[in-house]
Amino acid sequence: MQAKDLLGKRIEIPVHYDLWMRGARFGTVTQARAGQLGQSDYVYVRMDHPQVRRRLKLWQPDWEYVRICYEEGHKPLCFGRARGGGDWPKVRSLERG
């Protein structure tokens, strides 16, 4: 995935980010930047949460954990690997029978 593919899209940030754990989960990608020598690319995300004033810097290694969201009314609908829409391996059931 390229940075320009995320530009302008509504996303849900990865669950391992501190802002996600504090309730700021959704935002819009506003700017894409190329990393310098020895640094990965990153994008800036403007969060929807009213208490978050700075844009979040989302590094390229975390892009695979981002869920791209679409709004239907006021309810964001998310599609991504973590909700079963991706290529996660099948997990065997622990039940015997």
Q: How do the domains of the chain map onto residue ranges?
A: 3-83
Quick count: other Cβ atoms within 10 Å of Cβ 32?
17
* Tokens read off for 96: 């015997």
44-65 confidence digits (pLDDT tens): 999 989 899 999 999 988 988 8
Ordered alpha helix ranges (H), the chain: 3-6, 18-21
pTM: 0.69
33-46 confidence digits (pLDDT tens): 887 777 788 999 99
pLDDT at 90 over 70: no
* DSSP-derived 3-state class of residue 14: coil
- Rounded to an integer, the average pLDDT of 59-86 is 64
- Rounded to an integer, the average pLDDT of 69-80 is 56
Type of residue at 26: F
pLDDT at 75 over 60: no
- Rounded to an integer, the average pLDDT of 68-91 is 50
Radius of gyration (C-alpha) of the chain in whole angstroms: 15
pLDDT at 86 over 50: no
